[in-house]
Amino acid sequence: MLQFSAQQIALMIQGKIEGDATVLVKQFGKIEEAKAGEISFLANPKYEAFLYQSAASVIIINESLVLKQKLTATLIRVPDAYAAFATLLTKYQELKTQNLSGIQSPSYISSSATLGAHHYVAAFTHIGDHVVIGDNVKIFPNVVIGDNVKIGNHVVLNPGVIIYSDCVLGNHITIHSGTIIGSDGFGFAPKEDGSFQKVPQLGNVVIEDFVEIGSNTTIDRATIGSTIIRKGVKLDNLIQIAHNVEIGENTVIAAQSGISGSTKIGKSVMMGGQAGASGHISIADGVKIAARSGLTKTIKQANLVVTGYPAGEHGATLRSQIQVKNLPLLEKRVKELEILVQQLAQKG
């Protein structure tokens, strides 16, 4: 178990200490539950009340926070407490795995495969022919790496990851358990007799630097060419990325979303959970897609917020929903007017 002083933590996150710099912590805790010997953080003002009740030994807070009462905990002030805490968690995780090295048995590594320095290959791993793996790569149990795969430096493949042949991974990539990279795209040509002929999927998947992919996500290989995940993309669990899709830099996609074949997503797009995009469309840079939205057409306007099915501009869609809710009332008023007109006609 790793242990750090407040002074060491402050150096890691470039913060300013208020209180005892020598106090030690060895665990992380939520602000409402943290105990002595643990470190926590406060970023959301909604949780400020817990700050004054917390038993945490060290708490990371924003520089701008004005305290309402004195605290016993040692404070570390930073410009952004949430970002600083994320940095600290990242460094902690790196320290936990930095001593992992070597090749465990049983595992299979092809004689034609090349592994870089400071690698770790856990038991029950399979590494195919002509695979090239860079430095500081951590491969956990039951990972399968197909023939001709290329993997850069500082990559973590968690248990059960499968990477099909010919795929290319860059540097500083994390892929979580159960994810499959490079399985066949869903390509079938209809025949005259009503059956379907499989279209061979001859391309690959290219994943650029600083990408993180959650558990049980699937990214299909291209029919021809590459399915491309650009630099800085973050994919949640349980996402389907179809063949020949391209996802732009720093785009984030939440769980249970699906992207159909040959769709191009721009830079810095945010897609909420259970959203979907049909095939062969484009989504402009900076678009925000609300959860459970369905995109059926190309979005050309950058930074647009869309929602609903079929997805439309957020404000217009909400106004339409209000009108739909009012339809029963409008129907009732129309019927009342019809009766009134009939009564007036009879009197006339």
Decide if 243 is catalytic.
yes
Give 117's contacts (C-beta < 8 A, 6+ positions apart).
Answer: 135, 136
Helix (H, G, I), strand (E, B) or coil at 226: strand
Q: Indicate the length of the chain as a whole number.
A: 348
Identify the bridge partners of residue 180 per DSSP, sorted by sequence position. Answer: 162, 218
State how far Cα 248 lies from the chain centre.
13
Q: From CA 85, how far away is CA 11, in angstroms rounded?
A: 13
From the candidates 119, 154, 176, 243, give the one annotated as an active-site residue. Answer: 243
Cβ atoms 120, 101 nearer than 8 A = yes
Q: How many CA atoms lie within 13 A of 121 on its CB side?
A: 23
- Dist CA 96 CA 86 (whole Å): 15
CA distance 241 to 269: 15
CA distances, 204 to each of 36, 164, 241, 245, 346 (Å): 51, 8, 13, 11, 76
CA distances from 137 to 163, 197, 253, 258, 298 (A): 14, 39, 25, 29, 39
DSSP 291-322: TT-EE-S-B-STT-EEETTTTEEHHHHHHHHH
Q: Are 272 and 293 in contact (CB under 8 A)?
A: yes
Q: Which among 249, 243, 247 is positioned nearest to 262, based on CA atoms?
A: 243
- Looking at the annotation, which residues are catalytic? 243
